[in-house]
């Protein structure tokens, strides 16, 4: 009986990675604005707000970093020239390095147009449908897609664990259930 209990204890300790048993390290950037991390809705709104701006407008990258858990990843996905689905995983800092200059040069406003969320305990999964324009005065978006956002609550605030996205294409239109009602 004692050996069985030990085997169960070992199995359970292996099932939960060490990183999950220890509290997360504080974010490397400034402390998050409490209103930005107070709810799942607030943190998603803050994410869209912080990456959006006209050409020539610097983004608040410290605010951006403060939304993400220290282990967070952003995962752009799509189809390559050979028609094969691809995805890559980058850190928030790699996103800033790669996308920041383009956002500043061209202007970029990503707007949430529909949302579906599911929650279990401290986990929330958000399907956030977006459209994108270079300037808020643009007549029509140049792109639409869906962000799959995973959120985590640590007992005191919400964190973004991952943002995985796919832009709409003629071959992959956004399903009606992920578009605004009406």
72 domain-assigned = yes
Q: Is residue 8 part of a domain?
A: no
DSSP code, position 108: B
Asked whether residue 2 is assigned to any structural domain, the reply reads no
- Burial (CB count within 10 angstroms: exposed 0-12, middle 13-18, buried 19+), residue 79: middle
With bands split at pLDDT 50, 70 and 90, how would you rate the model's confidence at 14? very low
Residue 66 lies in a domain: yes
Residue 13 lies in a domain: no
At 182 the pLDDT is 75
Two tokens, residue 115: 């949302």
**What backbone phi and psi angles, to 5 degrees, belong to 33?**
-70, 125
Considering only residues 48 and 23, tell me which one the structure prediction assigns the higher pLDDT: 48
**101 pLDDT above the threshold of 80:** yes
Classify 147 in phi/psi space as left (phi over 0), alpha (psi -120 to 50) or beta: beta
Q: Would you say 16 and 100 are in contact if contact means Cβ atoms under 8 Å apart?
A: no
Write down the residue that tokens 């070992």 correspond to.
Answer: 10
> How sure is the predictor about 30, in pLDDT bands with cuts at 50, 70 and 90?
low
Please report where in the chains the tokens 């407008």 appear, as a residue.
57
Beta bridge partners of 156: none
The tens digit of pLDDT for each residue in 103-125 reads 999 999 999 999 999 999 999 99
Whether residue 61 is contained in a domain is answered as yes
Pairing of strands 68-79, 158-167: parallel
**Range 132-146 average pLDDT:** 97
> What is the domain range of residue 128?
35-178
Whether 27 is covered by a domain: the verdict is no
Question: What is the tally of structural domains in the chain?
Answer: 1
Q: What is the pTM of this model?
A: 0.83
Q: What CATH number does the domain containing 96 carry?
A: 3.10.450.50
Q: Is the pLDDT of residue 2 over 50?
A: no
pLDDT at 130: 98
Tell whether 4 is covered by a domain: no
* For range 60-74, the mean pLDDT: 97
Judge whether 129 and 115 are in contact, CB under 8 Å.
yes
Question: Please, which pLDDT band fits residue 16 given cuts at 50, 70 and 90?
Answer: very low
| Alpha carbons within 13 A on the beta-carbon side of 49 | 11
Q: Is the pLDDT of residue 21 over 60?
A: no
């Amino acid at each position: 009986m004692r050996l069985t209990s030990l085997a169960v204890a070992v199995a359970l300790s292996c099932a939960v990675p060490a990183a999950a048993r220890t509290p997360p390290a504080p974010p490397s950037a400034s402390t998050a604005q409490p209103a930005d991390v107070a709810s799942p809705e607030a943190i998603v709104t803050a994410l869209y707000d912080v990456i959006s701006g006209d050409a020539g407008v610097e983004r608040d990258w410290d605010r951006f970093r403060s939304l993400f858990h220290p282990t967070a990843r952003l995962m752009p996905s799509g189809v390559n020239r050979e028609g094969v689905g691809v995805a890559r995983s980058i850190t928030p800092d790699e996103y800033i390095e790669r996308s920041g200059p383009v956002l500043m040069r061209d202007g970029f406003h990503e707007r949430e147009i529909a949302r579906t969320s599911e929650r279990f305990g401290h986990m929330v999964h958000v399907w956030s449908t977006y459209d994108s324009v270079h300037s808020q005065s643009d007549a029509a978006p140049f792109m639409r897609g869906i962000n799959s956002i995973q959120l985590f609550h640590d007992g005191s605030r919400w964190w973004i664990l991952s943002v995985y996205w796919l832009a709409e294409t003629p071959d992959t239109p956004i399903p009606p259930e992920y578009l605004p009602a009406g």
